[in-house]
A and B are shown apart, each in its own frame.
Chain A
């Protein structure tokens, strides 16, 4: 380890030199030691077991709910006339939205040469994949007969003897989400191979050597391999960038292509994408602040990283707020009575409470990030980010439920009531998410070591 760097606060911008992204005077070996230390420790911290235990308990609740659902059918949910799309799609869109930050950080910030992404992209990508797993669960079990899930895909089966309808947004969704999950996993794994090779070379146990040896594919860090690897990484980033925008666009088509007042608007794609980035970044902050504290990664995930993310949260939060405003304007400007009523009803109808939770959490609360103390104080930003995710869940709830419960025909109006299965499945999906994330923290490189080393100043420059 090198000498301790005197700079402790890297959130001030100095016109003369770039603020360092890595603190504590870490050199290459120091970065490796910090990141590998998490995994090389004989025992993880006690709190890790507590979190894993709680997460597995919730996961078992989820498993029980899914089993109950499969045995008894989708009637165990509260979905019923007129709200045939209830909590399952709310949860689906919520999780898919969260799953957008990882690829955004990896791909879009990579293309924009935002070097600060290197400390957070691995954890964010992992979070993306786990969120997409949670998201895929809900439409997966919603199809009723899950054992013939392959009917969703254009696979010739004698049993069904027909093809999917390629003009349906729901089918686009199948393609978009499965492509997104696949590409995210490829991107995540490819980025992780050099770091898994580091694990392989430092591993002392036989099982570890075998598993990490297999996963690292024999990576040696050859310059010829790095050359192709970097180009491949850029291509994947260039592919993932339009992909990440397309996925939530297509998710919004599920709503926007239908005729229901409150859904049938062209603003949905950009509005959904902004919301997805907003909620995804909030989830990254919520996860990384405790991870950073727990594993002592303050030198790698610095306050500057967190501050940058909070700035993005505030920016996207205001985009979402603008979208809320524009929706109201268009509802009035279009002169369509159904549309006007749908939005009046959102704010002042019998779901007013959900609407105002959404507006408070998404538009008002993130405004505190204008104050520097708020966006540089870890415990405080976690609270704000939890509010953001509550708000984003309610956004999907408001869009789905209020529109369906007040559609064209007043005789079919109703009030939606979730069942206990709805509630436990939402809670249980957090169990699935945190189980995967906790295991990831323990067994895989949490920070992209190779990428962090690449943006560090070269030793001779000192």
Chain B
């Protein structure tokens, strides 16, 4: 039964949008849609509680472009996903590096010698980025194409239409359709089996938002802007106030730092007389494995030696590295060479194994400056002399250990070499903290062995052959001095 409605299509209060016909089952809806399309209606739509099969051709609905939108986004996501990982972790192809980028520089992790960028390791994240982007494209693309959300729809004002989401089926023919005619369309709908027909009207009187809502929306929007504005303001200016500490016990930990005053107070006085946090060992106590009373082994000084007051203490010979050799030569310390041991301590057995150990340690710690052949042509020394030559560094050349002042056993006994390694001499720094005692003696043994040979060992020859810097005949000649090896500029 059609409803009688004699209202004109537009009056002051409302505008006719279309006619909505109700059907009771999906098949009659599909038939009605088919007939409406054949009758020439194009601005039609059907409404059903579930997708009705066969309604797309009946209404003439074209296939949506949504899959292509998703495909486009997915292909883009491949590049975004891979690009993000390449930029942040692997930006090192050829000359191009993202590490020095002014904005968001890359950060490369060297892990187990693996390449910075390798496709297999970057597939999982790329895949997830593709799926996430495509899912967003599908979800939001579908709503966008459907012009939803649309919270105000005149259809919802029809009480009967509420069953469109329950168990009834509706066909709407819009007033905007060229074929639409209030009377004849209604007759046609009845003819196609409509159970009832309603007018869909847009209420013109109730179109405006309530005035208070606009005011509240404006105020809300302004209030929402405040936090980001505050954050940007804080980011854009300097402040003397300390930054916010979210969890204070991580920033201010309940511990004492070295070389500070002790926090432990008793009756307003420091608990410890020296007021320090750090506690010195009890006088006369020795930590396990730290007993180094044997001066021959640990210092290279004869155990029966009694120091005189006028002697320069070994500590006095340690320099900061800023002093030059000239300075050292200008005021040579008054040295009592007789205090140094001239034999290896009894704990050290001099054999081939010791010398070989000494060679390994020497090549690690000493060769950088003194050179593998100990003739003072280490790479650091060469480079530093080159820089000093153009005034970019201040440098005292590392000595050749074949130099008479070093190799002379009278002036430079074993104990003195040991002390030089342990505590440094001139501008050379101390290595006692880095090299264990036995290894230092091993180096002494190797240095003495080098000095015995007097000429370059085979190793140094082959090094120079490889570098190709000098003639083969030159390399076979006598030891080259550091000055010979110095090149003007790199």
Contact = CB atoms under 8 A, between A and B. Distances in A.
Nearest to B149: A217
B151 A213 contact: yes
A172 B45 CA distance: 46
Contacts of A240: 135
Given A162-B107, A163-B106, A232-B142, A453 B25 contact: no
Interface stretch (A126-134, A135-143, A194-202, A361-369): A194-202
Contact of A459 (B25, B46, B131): B25
Contacts of B229: none
A250 interface: yes
B321 to A, nearest CB: 32
A223 interface: yes
A154 B90 CA distance: 14
B139 interface: yes
A125 to B, nearest CB: 14
B167 A182 contact: no
Contacts of B151: 213-214, 217-218
A224 B61 contact: yes
B193 to A, nearest CB: 12
Contact of B131 (A147, A217, A222, A243): A243
A101 interface: no
B370 to A, nearest CB: 39
Contact of A451 (B45, B50, B64, B141): B50
Contacts of A200: 165
Interface in B73-89: 84-85, 88-89
Given A145-B247, A179-B128, 14 more contacts: A29-B166, A145-B250, A169-B124, A172-B124, A219-B165, A221-B165, A223-B46, A223-B47, A228-B64, A231-B142, A232-B141, A235-B138, A242-B131, A450-B51
A113 interface: no
A218 B149 contact: yes
5 contacts: A220-B47, A220-B156, A222-B45, A225-B148, A231-B63
B294 interface: no
Contacts of A458: 25-27
Given A163-B106, A166-B88, A239 B52 contact: no
State the 3 A-B residue pairs at the shortest beta-carbon distance, nearest first.
Answer: A28-B167, A217-B149, A232-B142
A349 interface: no
Contacts of A225: 146, 148
Contact of B104 (A156, A175, A201, A228): A156
Nearest to A29: B167
Contacts of A27: 167
A32 B161 CA distance: 15
B421 interface: no
A222 B111 contact: no
Interface string A237-262: 00110110010001001000000000
A427 interface: no
A195 to B, nearest CB: 8
A236 interface: yes
Interface string A347-358: 000000000000
A223 B52 contact: yes
Given A162-B107, A458-B26, A235 B66 contact: yes
A296 interface: no
A227 B139 CA distance: 14
Nearest to B121: A167
A186 B139 contact: yes
B64 A227 contact: yes
Contacts of B128: 172, 175-176, 179, 243, 246
A94 B211 CA distance: 53
B61 A227 contact: yes
A197 B165 contact: yes
Contacts of A221: 47-49, 164-165
Interface string A185-219: 01100100010011011100000000001100111
Residue picked from A145, A179, A200, A458, most chain B C-beta under 10 Å = A179
Nearest to B159: A201
A325 interface: no
B128 to A, nearest CB: 4
B2 interface: no
Contact of A179 (B26, B132, B143, B246): B132
A182 B140 CA distance: 13
Given A166-B89, A198-B166, A214-B151, A232 B47 contact: no
Interface string B78-110: 000000110011000000000000001011010
A162 B49 CA distance: 52
A333 interface: no
Given A163-B88, A171-B125, A217 B51 contact: no
Interface in A390-411: none
B89 A167 contact: yes
Given A164-B88, A222-B46, A175 B66 contact: no
Contacts of B84: 154
Interface string B31-74: 00100000000000111111110011001010110110010000
